[in-house]
A and B are shown apart, each in its own frame.
Chain A
């Protein structure tokens, strides 16, 4: 019996998908950084040759290509270098409330981190990470819930 085609759509296209899942190896530097987050710490790599700390943590220096063995604790407050409020999620869905993201830099550290920020944060704001409660941390960038304004009095 012949099948009857009653719509041109059916013959003009077909749909398919690529169901792919990954388990990315964190690596030496990645593991060190993520373990640090689980302990409520942000760590930068330190190149002894360039005498420079940088984020994200890597096992090599992108300037001199030397090995980076040391990591240093980022103690300084972050500073918001750029700010955006996103209206759509990664699946293209409209978000109920816009989500604020910032690019955050740290004094004495090259590079920085992109992360979510709390309401009221402005460009130039001094910010600090709000970590999840310790028992809820998994060694993920999401162990930092967001960055919020650092209202601590300046020590210097």
Chain B
């Protein structure tokens, strides 16, 4: 069935695209002093300063990853340009995660449409009083939504199936939570770091068995902006940069419609396509850093297993001897940034490869991988490979 999944988009036939600047603001459970637009303005201003670009002059295309229901504003793309310096300039919004947004940015650059592209995503999740309602609206309306299930119900079902079929146990899941929270303690961008024991996770309140409160990333708010440019532009203008070697995204059949439950087809296929495009010959263990989606604890293990190929390889990575897995603390430690979650993972890797990750710096990091997921109830995600 997984082979029948929807098509995979593969990019980077020629040339390379570089991240020449990053900027962010927020990274708190609630950013109470800035409106959504002000949050975007602050993040964008910092990114333009970091990249030494003038958005009114140098940027050829702006891309925002945003989704109306999380904004509480329909046709919200109309409200996006001004605060990121894009008034009267080409801008498009993409209701998808930022790896898909990155792919679009790369296409704009490699097609010659623009030499410098801005990629923005943000979370103002605390503004959404009915988060459950937004999540429930994502369920198929005639066969699923009337049943009264929540996103956590569907996560509980998938987690149950994952634990039965993957060979990973609840103990492995507990450890994933403990490790995410512990890593986050050292990350200034993390809102939910903490010293947790496996027993703490074990005793956490049940949401929908076996899923517990501790298994689910709590919401946080942030604005994040990356400035991207063609390799030629970056060289000509002498910008320090991190390269994007490959990016791919994919939708597989969600398990509720017959897709697999122990692995994620979207992650597997995005990974193999991104690796091929990057011309990368090694294994997953040859990356210095992996920032994998952990919106739910078991999804981290599922995504890791999907990319590593075997349980043995996944376990070697979990042992932490060679590859740093989610040194940022992931979504479990930093917070669920909704549409900005993937851009957060890209930001963390860019900072790491620039050697600017401070107290969470992975020494000598040269190659990093980001994996994203669009969340329940989707079977959509992507992979991006970065290097320096």
* A residues lining the B interface (CB < 8 Å): 12-13, 15-16, 18, 22, 24, 26, 30, 33-34, 54-56, 62-63, 81-92, 98-99, 101-103, 110-116, 123, 140-142
Complex CA gap A13/B159 in Å reads 37
Nearest chain A CB to B23's CB is how many angstroms away?
25
B250 CB within 8 Å of chain A:
no
Nearest first, the 10 A-B pairs at minimum CB distance are A84-B156, A111-B258, A82-B161, A63-B4, A86-B208, A82-B157, A86-B153, A92-B132, A82-B160, A85-B209
| Complex contact A86–B150 (CB within 8 A) | yes
Partner of B160, one of A15, A16, A22, A123: A123
Partner of A141, one of B143, B154, B156: B143
- Name the B residues within 8 Å of A16 (CB-CB): 72
B290 CB within 8 Å of chain A:
no
Complex CA gap A141/B210 in Å reads 25
CB-nearest residue of chain B relative to A26?
Answer: B142
New A-B pairs, 13, CB < 8 Å, besides A85-B156, A140-B146: A82-B161, A82-B164, A84-B209, A86-B152, A86-B153, A86-B207, A88-B152, A103-B157, A103-B161, A110-B1, A113-B143, A116-B147, A141-B147
B290-326: CB near A (< 8 Å → 1, else 0) gives 0000000000000000000000000000000000000
Complex CA gap A33/B133 in Å reads 26
| Complex contact A83–B154 (CB within 8 A) | no
CB-nearest residue of chain B relative to A30?
Answer: B142
CB-nearest residue of chain B relative to A84?
Answer: B156
Nearest chain B CB to A71's CB is how many angstroms away?
15
- Name the B residues within 8 Å of A115 (CB-CB): 147
B206 CB within 8 Å of chain A:
yes
Known: A26-B142, A62-B4, A112-B258. A89 touches B148 (CB 8 A): yes
- Name the A residues within 8 Å of B161 (CB-CB): 81-82, 103
| Complex contact B148–A84 (CB within 8 A) | no
B211 CB within 8 Å of chain A:
yes
Nearest chain A CB to B129's CB is how many angstroms away?
7
Nearest chain A CB to B142's CB is how many angstroms away?
6
- Name the B residues within 8 Å of A84 (CB-CB): 153, 156-157, 159-160, 208-211
| Complex contact A141–B142 (CB within 8 A) | yes
Complex CA gap A33/B148 in Å reads 20
- Name the A residues within 8 Å of B219 (CB-CB): none
Known: A24-B142, A113-B143. A62 touches B253 (CB 8 A): yes
Complex CA gap A85/B148 in Å reads 12
Complex CA gap A92/B148 in Å reads 11
B243-282: CB near A (< 8 Å → 1, else 0) gives 0000000000101111001000000000000000000000
Complex CA gap A12/B126 in Å reads 13
Complex CA gap A116/B146 in Å reads 11
| Complex contact B144–A114 (CB within 8 A) | yes
B136 CB within 8 Å of chain A:
yes
Partner of A87, one of B4, B72, B206: B206
Complex CA gap A120/B38 in Å reads 53
| Complex contact B258–A114 (CB within 8 A) | no
B149 CB within 8 Å of chain A:
yes
Of the A-B pairs whose beta carbons lie under 8 Å apart in the complex, a sample of 24, sorted by A's number, is A12-B32, A26-B142, A54-B258, A63-B4, A82-B160, A85-B206, A86-B152, A87-B205, A87-B207, A88-B207, A90-B133, A90-B136, A92-B131, A99-B148, A101-B147, A101-B149, A101-B157, A110-B258, A112-B258, A113-B143, A114-B256, A116-B147, A141-B143, A141-B144
